[in-house]
Structure 1
Amino acid sequence: MVAQQRLALISLLVPSYQAGIAFFVDQMGFDLHEDTDLGGGKRWVRVGPKDAETGFLLAKAVGAEQIAAIGNQGGGRVWLFLQTDDFARDHAAMTTKGVTFEEAPRDESYGQVAVFRDPFGNRWDLIQFKG
């Protein structure tokens, strides 16, 4: 038997569960896959793009070190890449819903791309690959 592995979740620090849900579900249009109360103020909150294999576990930052890391998990670089099959559609929808792009869309050798920030400071690429 061949072992199978896949990336299931990426933990993303947020200031509060509600702030994370408000952005990812309400503005980005992601699905809320699960929101389970674990007691003691902790929740298991999973969000992700519709039909995506990998999603995010929204982790409420606790303590000074985690709070300081909100929005800087990529060290200031683009570290999250949202692939689309229709760049113009998704760019327009995201802009309409208040997502802030740092730049106008541009064409690169690998595809069409534009950088945006989530409200927590994380830098993303919205990208449609060529071919």
Structure 2
Amino acid sequence: MPTANTALRGISLVCLTTPKQDEAVTFYESIGFEKRTDTPFGGGYRWIEMYPPEGSTGIALAPPPEGSTVEPAQTGITLTTGDIDAAHADMLAAGVDVDAEVSRMGDPVPPMFWFRDPSGHTLMVVQNTD
């Protein structure tokens, strides 16, 4: 049983493997994220952390292990917005690979759409119901 010191307390980062880190940084900055960490480490690699303007969980843009390829993944990462239609329109106008329309399944599922980053990873945007 975990103690108070060893209990898991939250999610700080989710990691996405990307072979073109600079392209990924430019992309995530274009949709409102800020780069908070960009640190070189062994073998010419860089550890990069991107964060949305609100919240404390970020996305680490990590290089793939040497000799491996990156396969696009359905990440399960869900971002929130106060206005799903405006967010969709903004991303579409910016040339982001987004779904053609916002998905509306009805209560209790919030309106949502999916988009793909430069590595082909899929992320979701949902309307915050707060």
Give the TM-score, by structure 2 length: 0.81
Structure 2: distance between partners of 1:100 and 1:17: 18
Instruction: Kindly provide the amino acid, as one letter, of the partner of residue 19 in structure 2.
Output: P
Q: CA deviation at 1:106?
A: 2.4
Match of 1:124 in 2: 123
Matched-pair contact (CA < 8 Å) for 2:17–2:70: no
**What are the Cα deviations for residues 9-62 of structure 1, in whole angstroms up to 9, with x where unaligned?**
11110012212101111x212011111222531112100211221101110113
Q: Which consecutive residues of structure 2, in runs of 5 or more, have no partner in the other structure?
A: none
Task: Please give the residue correspondences for 1:5-24 in structure 2 after superposition, counting only pairs within 5 Å.
Answer: 5-24=9-28
**Bigger radius of gyration, 1 or 2?**
2
Give the TM-score, by structure 1 length: 0.80
Task: Give the number of the structure whose residues are more often strand, by fraction.
Answer: 1
Structure 2: distance between partners of 1:99 and 1:19: 13
CA root-mean-square deviation: 2.1
1:63 to 56, 61, 66: 66
SS at match of 2:111: strand
1:83 aligns with 2:80: yes
Structure 1: distance between partners of 2:8 and 2:67: 37
Matched-pair contact (CA < 8 Å) for 1:103–1:115: no
Match of 1:50 in 2: 53
Match of 2:44 in 1: 41
Matched pairs, number: 124
SS at match of 2:100: coil
Q: Rate the CA distance shift 1:56–1:127 in 2: closer, same or farther, 3 A.
A: same
